[in-house]
Amino acid sequence: MVQPHLIVLDLDGTLLTDEKTISLKTKHTIEKAKSQGHQVMIATGRPFRASKHIYKELGFNTPIINFNGAYIHHPLNKSYAIKHSPIELNTVTEIVESLQPFHLSNIIAEVIDDLYVEQHDQQLLSVLGLGNPKVTTGKIRDHLTENPTSMLLHTAENEVAAIRKHLQDTKAELIDHRRWGDPYHVIEIVRTGIHKAIGLDHVARAMQIPRQRIIAFGDEDNDLEMIEYAGVGVAMGNAIGDLKNIADEITASNNADGIANILIERLHL
């Protein structure tokens, strides 16, 4: 009998196919893993409101890591201590001021499940509006009164590298930032030192599952620390090169049951 493992799933490009669905084989494999005593959880850059339907669809009863580790809670256990690590409000003001020389088409702040957008943008809202958040439109500095969980900068493709360099050179001790995958030229900002591995370490300790019994799956640069942290870090076939370089294993793509294949083999399902 295989000892209980903690299986950690990124969503977009990993658990979800390009059609944003979960394949039947992957779903059945996850159910089988759960029935044999393994814990399965989600670790995503998405807010909870945009991952809740997947959590429910898979019948999970585990904590969930949202905003790449900035927000961790247990949806079904009210006594589970929430871990929220937002960005300081004055840091947000500093960033907005310092970005004046750059061209930004939008600045967005998220406070757990509330959304603040400077400009109404239907295309971005179709992504960020999953789960029907309360949306406030207008200047961030006029409307945002709480420390935000994360911040998004929407810009032109040719501006991304320069803005990220500016943030690295001037705000590295306060924030960390990632780039979204295509087609969105979005820079996502969280408090410094926040990433999925921090969240995973927090959850695994509470569950008393050692690192060597963690299997984590990912595809993008926000999965790097988690894939490195896990006892078995798995890069999807469609993952970026940097992730494949550090992964313990590379599996098939998100459209070809990559998760199921590894779990069947590793856990003898």
For residues 251 and 220, give the distance between their C-alpha atoms in angstroms, rounded to a whole number.
Answer: 14
Do the Cβ atoms of 39 and 62 come closer than 8 Å?
yes
For residues 46 and 12, give the distance between their C-alpha atoms in angstroms, rounded to a whole number.
Answer: 9
Q: Rounded to the nearest 5°, which phi and psi values hold at 77?
A: -130, 100
Length of the chain, please?
269
Catalytically annotated residue among 10, 12, 176, 257: 10
Rg of the Cα atoms in the chain: 18
Q: Per DSSP, which regions of 85-179 are E strands?
A: 104-111, 114-117, 134-137, 150-155, 175-179
Residue ranges of the alpha helices (H) in 133-217?
140-143, 160-171, 196-207
> Does residue 10 have an active-site annotation?
yes
For residues 37 and 14, give the distance between their C-alpha atoms in angstroms, rounded to a whole number.
Answer: 22
Active site residues: 10
